[in-house]
Amino acid sequence: MAKATADLVAAFATEQTMGTEVPPSWNVAPTDDVRIVTERLQPADDDAGQVPERVPVRRLATAKWGLIPSWAKDRKIGARMINARRETVLEKPAFRKAAVKRRALVPADGYYEWEKDGGRKIPTYLSSPSEDPLAFAGLYEFWPDPALPEDHEHKWLLSFTIITTAATDALGHIHDRSPLIIPPDLWGDWLDPGLSDRGDVAGLLESIPEPELTPRTVSDRVNSVRNNGPDLIEPAAPVA
Q: Which domains does the chain have, with CATH numbers?
A: 5-114+131-212 (3.90.1680.10)
Counting every residue, how long is the chain?
Answer: 240
Summary mean pLDDT of the chain: 91
In the predicted model, is pLDDT for residue 170 greater than 70?
A: no
Tell me how far CA of residue 108 lies from CA of 63, 134, 193, in angstroms.
Answer: 14, 5, 22
Beta strands in 94-172 (DSSP E): 103-108, 110-117, 120-127, 134-144, 156-166
- Cβ atoms of 127 and 214 within 8 Å: the answer is yes
pTM score, whole prediction: 0.92
Mean pLDDT of 127-136: 92
Q: Report DSSP letters for 2-28, one per residue.
A: ---HHHHHHHHT-SEE-S------SS-
Residue 46 has a pLDDT of 58
User: pLDDT for 23-46, tens place per residue?
Assistant: 999 999 999 999 999 999 888 765
Confidence band of 51 (pLDDT split at 50, 70, 90): low
Strand 134-144 relative to strand 103-108, pairing = antiparallel
pLDDT in tens, 204-214: 999 999 998 99
- DSSP state letter for 2: -
Name the band, by pLDDT with cuts 50, 70 and 90, for residue 14.
very high
The per-residue pLDDT for 44 is 77
Instruction: Tell me the percentage of the chain whose pLDDT exceeds 70.
Output: 93
At 70-121, the pLDDT tens digits run: 999 989 999 999 999 999 999 999 999 999 999 999 999 999 999 887 778 8
pLDDT at 120: 83
Q: Of the ranges 34-38, 176-180, 216-220, which is most confident?
A: 34-38
User: Are β-strands 156-166 and 54-65 bridged in parallel, bridged antiparallel, or unpaired?
Assistant: parallel
Residue 157 one-letter amino acid: L
